[in-house]
Amino acid sequence: MRLDLFSDVADLTAAIVDIPSVSGEEKPLADAVEEALRALPHLAVVRDGDTVVARTALGRPERVVLAGHLDTVPLNGNLPSRVVGDRLYGCGTTDMKSGVAVALKLAAAVTEPTRDLTYVFYECEEVEAGRNGLKRLAETRPELLAGDFAVLMEPTGGLIEGGCQGTMRVDVKATGARAHSARAWMGSNAIHGAGAILDVLRAYEPTRPVVDGLEYHEGLNAVFISGGVAGNVVPDECVVTVNYRFAPDKSLADAEAYLRRTFDGFEVTVTDAASGARPGLTHPAAAAFVAESGAEVRAKLGWTDVARFTELGVPAVNYGPGEPTLAHTKDEHVELPLIADCERRMLAWLAAPAGPA
């Protein structure tokens, strides 16, 4: 299927949605995106797996990266797309094919941008990090992601969400001694001992750090608990898996040290971690984006791929037309006026639009 990058942004979104692209199956959509971008003479296009990168090379003093993932979660009887009033329904409409459509429109329309532009359309964001196309580029071809500022077109409901939280998961282990349950006093019940871990979590009061002018809301929660040997055995081990969501003023080392202090006396093992990203709104390109787009700004509560740009030294924000609370739902949809508004704001920031050749 061919994509018409000069069609209305709502129609382009529907066309992209109607090309299924569940994680690992992005090739048809990546092919269509590559074909459409190679037809634009002002862009140099590179294909890496099912990730497509297009760049201008105009010698501007700054470079902005616009990025969006092509994949979706598995279908749930929500294709093909359909329009009901001012809403477009379908898998990926909000997360994040409407944002991809806006970026593709910009790629076609902005032939003389105020800043050099890099467009990145990547694979496998919705699955394990090892398959993520943006992560692969960051590790193997970081020069393709180089820039002064990046906008990840993740769903934000038309608001600018600065940076992102970091996340860390740890196993907190309570230990005891096994015994026959008929002679429980001869052992020590580790599941009972885990109550002290839960007491800490119940008493936790979330902090709300302000980072670069944006307020984040931290969180500390038990997400799994495991323990037990048999129906007649006092268990000697119980593990509570805890997820810590922390503001981007903390490093991974800071987060780990905090968790070890919080659960002092228990064995703590880090099982997964990802750094957060500061908002980066003090950079001139970011400040211009906020000022010229006129969009409201808030902190990003959650982790996104903006953190990958931060690791490369590129400040980044999240901005897209989709409503994040609708992502991955059967009735996923996007408000059509929000897509048009996102396109308008981005054009106002980057350049006046050019018509079709």
Active site residues: 71, 125
Neighbours of 330 (CB within 10 A): 10
Tokens 């003023």 correspond to what residue? 249
Q: What are phi and psi of 139, to 5 degrees?
A: -90, -35
Which structure tokens are listed for 258? Answer: 């905090």
Nearest CA among 310, 203, 302 for reference residue 251:
310
CB 29, CB 15: distance < 8 Å? no
Q: Are 284 and 340 in contact (CB under 8 A)?
A: no
CA 201 to chain centre: 26
Q: Give the amino acid at 294.
A: G
Contact 118, 54 (CB under 8 A): yes
Exposed / middle / buried, residue 341 (Cβ in 10 Å: 0-12, 13-18, 19+): middle
